[in-house]
Structure 1
């Protein structure tokens, strides 16, 4: 079962658009910009060149989700499955905030999975913040988390 979860998660990462679609906000202007000079960095990805940092981020995110996922008992009992999209900000200090989870409209009782997805993302460690023009910026991410029995 763990191998299936890992494969599904890795596959969903390949389809994920969250890393390529960065929306940031400068601390002075508060206007969204489309590209950061330096994206937030997971600890452990600090020494990797920028061209490989996105892959390192995805790998560390996948490891975090797998390590911290606890499939809710009620969801198992009701056989609830689904792909939850979690949106969050990595703020100026590298802290995760504003976590929002959405499930497909046709997913009955997926609120249970949404709560677990929020819990998983809330456990993310502090990041090295994204930078724009030498200043830290907020960066928005979308991370899919697939729950499959």
Structure 2
């Protein structure tokens, strides 16, 4: 069965009427918008008042202006001017030329004494044992080849001497129980002799004993720095323990 369209339901037939109605509506709306009037509200006037502080007028004192006096008149000019003669005699100094010529003869020849050049020896400070280039040669260490081997040999010889000669029984007699330390510093001078012994310990008797033992060190071959004999500074700690039985 074929569906047939009602000719009355066709809206395209009335499209011109709808267009005219819409155009009239839009024109009316535009006209109404142009003729619309807005009422401007009057803004309320607000008065502002500023408080200005009152100015206090100061009384200016009246100062008296003194009248300026005219300058004093110049001194009178004398009628006669006395001329004082200049009797001062001026001695003119004669400037002689210092240039000489070959024809002039020298009156006196000054002899110059022989110049003796004084040699000032450079004083080298004591070098620490660990920094010396050539260590002092302790007796019995001559067969050691290098410098480090001689250092170890010298330290071993000194420790052996202290261990055999130091009287540790002094600590027991002085009731110095426990570990006792004596710090000793001495020099081996340019001639290889032990000098400038300084000790520090818990008792004067131990310091004197340490000094006595260090004086037993034999004379050595001096140490050298830059191929020159110098003093060598040696530090020796002496440590021993006294047990309280």
Counterpart check, 1:122 vs 2:215: yes
Residue 5 of structure 1 is matched in structure 2 by: none
Range 82-91 or range 128-137, more displaced: 128-137
Q: When you count helix as a share of all residues, which structure comes out higher? A: 1
- How does the TM-score come out when normalised to structure 1? 0.70
Residue 24 of structure 2 is matched in structure 1 by: none
1:32, CA displacement in angstroms? Answer: 5.2
Task: Determine which structure has more spread, i.e. the larger CA radius of gyration.
Answer: 2
Counterpart check, 1:137 vs 2:230: yes
Q: For residues 117 and 32 of structure 1, do their structure 2 counterparts lie closer, same or farther at Cα, with a shift above 3 Å needed?
A: closer
Alignment gaps of 5+ in structure 1: 1-26
1:71, CA displacement in angstroms? Answer: 2.8
2:186 to 66, 72, 88: 88
- Using CA pairs under 8 Å that are at least 6 residues apart, name the structure with larger relative contact order, 1 or 2: 1
1:31, CA displacement in angstroms? Answer: 3.8
2:154 to 47, 57, 82: 57
List per-residue Cα deviations over 1:77-118 (Å, max 9, x = no partner). 222251111000000110000000012xxx3xx111111111
Alignment gaps of 5+ in structure 2: 1-120
Q: When you count strand as a share of all residues, which structure comes out higher? A: 1
- How does the TM-score come out when normalised to structure 2? 0.44
